[in-house]
């Protein structure tokens, strides 16, 4: 009886291990994943196959088959630092943070070339103190909020790292303020904004990726302002 129990237990253990091995798969980052993560990898493979069959019709490619019908979309957050500017900082020496949040959806694929559509909101702020005649100090500050619609190109290297380039346009609102601690003067205006980005994306898993890149953010108000920014971002794919 005891030997029978041991035999049944060994069989169940072996069967469980075999099932777990069959459930696991290697993801785009080269790591073996199991369970729901393995399901996501298989969903991505099926989505890739559908895109290959329907490169000019992403909507048709996304239909059917998987619980992840819309796989290929992303929500993202980005943070950066403005390291240079021309007519963009309050004294053309911008040195300030920049933040962005947005959404990305696939458009089409041709071979290893992927085209996506992005929408994002970018926020940038700059400020500095200027000493006139001691102890008189003026505080100059300004911020800009830009809404962008962009087209993004990516190249599938069949590895965990892939390059990207994007370009976008949209409205921007800039506001500047001067204060001496007692009196304050502020003014704002709308303008046409545009942006260009380039960098590398690292696929940590089929659901999460990070990217690092360079952004140029410009606006055509009172002359042409431009900000140069280094950025990092986090993408949640679904």
Give the residue from 196, 194, 235 showing the smallest Cα distance to 213: 196
With a pLDDT cut of 70, the percent of the chain lying above it is 67
DSSP 8-class letter at 31? -
3-state DSSP assignment of residue 84: strand
Per-residue pLDDT at 138: 66
**Residue 20: CB partners within 8 Å, gap ≥ 6?**
34
Q: How far is CA 234 from the centre of its chain?
A: 6
The verdict on 43 and 156 lying in the same domain is no
List of E strands, the chain: 25-26, 32-33, 74-86, 96-110, 113-131, 137-155, 161-179, 184-203, 208-220, 224-237
Mean pLDDT (whole number) for 135-151: 82
Which of 85, 97, 46 is closest to 68 using CA atoms?
46
* Owning domain of residue 160: 72-237
Structure confidence at residue 8 (pLDDT): 39
Is residue 37 scored above 50 in pLDDT?
A: yes
The answer to whether residues 92 and 198 belong to one domain is yes
Please tell me whether residues 146 and 218 are part of one structural domain: yes
From 69, 98, 126, give the residue that closes a domain. 69
pTM beyond cutoff 0.95: no
- Pick from 141, 130, 121, 127: nearest CA to 96: 127
More confident residue, 126 or 93: 126
User: Do 45 and 141 belong together in one domain?
Assistant: no
State how far the Cα of 226 lies from the Cα of 29, in Å rounded to an integer.
Answer: 36
**Residue 70 has what pLDDT?**
45
Structural domains counted in the chain: 2
User: Within this chain, do residues 168 and 95 fall inside the same structural domain, yes or no?
Assistant: yes
Residue, of 137 and 77, whose pLDDT is higher: 77
Assess whether 110 and 226 both reside in one domain.
yes
- Co-location of 231 and 124 in the same domain: yes
User: Is the pLDDT confidence value at 174 over 60?
Assistant: yes
**CATH code of 175's domain:** 2.40.160.20
Query: Are 165 and 53 in a shared domain?
Result: no
Given a cut of 70, is residue 75 above it in pLDDT?
Answer: yes
DSSP H stretches of helix in 57-168: 58-62
Give me the pLDDT at residue 11, please.
42
Torsion-angle region of residue 64: left (phi > 0), alpha (psi -120 to 50) or beta? left
On whether both 149 and 54 belong to a single domain, the answer is no
Note the pLDDT of residue 100: 97
96, 200: one domain: yes
- 208 pLDDT more than 70: yes
Sequential DSSP letters for 108-138: EEETTEEEEEEEEEEEEEEEEEEESSTT-EE
Domain shared by 90 and 187, yes or no: yes
Structure tokens at 146: 């830009």
Q: Which of 15, 35, 69 is the last residue of a domain?
A: 69
- pLDDT band with cut points at 50, 70 and 90 for residue 183: low
At residue 60, the pLDDT reads: 53
Residue 217, phi then psi, degrees to nearest 5:
-120, 120
Tokens (6 digits) for 234: 């986090």
User: What is the per-residue pLDDT for 14?
Assistant: 43
Give the pLDDT mean for 208-217. 96
Residues in the chain, total: 238
Bridge partners of 143?
A: 125, 175
Per-residue model confidence (pLDDT) at position 216: 95
Q: Are residues 49 and 152 in the same domain?
A: no
What is the reported pLDDT for 108? Answer: 87
Question: Where is the domain boundary, 69, 89, 104?
Answer: 69
């Amino acid at each position: 009886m005891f030997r029978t129990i041991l035999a049944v237990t060994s069989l169940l253990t072996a069967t469980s291990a075999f099932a777990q091995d069959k459930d696991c798969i290697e993801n785009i980052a080269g790591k073996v994943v199991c369970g729901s993560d393995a399901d996501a990898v298989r969903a991505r493979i099926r989505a890739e196959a559908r895109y290959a069959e329907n490169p000019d019709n992403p909507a048709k490619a996304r239909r059917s088959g998987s619980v992840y019908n819309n796989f290929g979309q992303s929500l993202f957050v980005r943070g950066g630092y403005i390291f240079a500017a021309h007519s963009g900082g309050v004294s053309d020496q911008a040195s300030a943070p920049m933040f962005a949040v947005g959404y990305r959806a696939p458009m089409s694929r041709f071979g290893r070339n992927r085209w996506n559509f992005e929408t994002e909101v970018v926020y940038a702020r700059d400020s500095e103190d200027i000493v006139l005649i001691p102890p008189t100090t003026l505080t100059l500050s300004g911020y800009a909020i830009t809404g962008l619609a962009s087209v993004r190109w990516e190249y599938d290297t069949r590895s965990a790292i892939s390059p990207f380039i994007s370009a976008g346009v949209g409205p921007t609102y800039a506001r500047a303020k001067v204060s001496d601690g007692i009196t304050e003067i502020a003014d704002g205006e709308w303008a046409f904004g545009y942006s260009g980005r380039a960098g590398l994306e690292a696929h940590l898993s089929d659901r999460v990726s990070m990217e690092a890149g360079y952004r140029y953010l410009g606006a055509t108000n009172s002359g042409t302002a431009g900000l140069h920014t280094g950025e990092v971002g986090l993408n949640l794919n679904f």
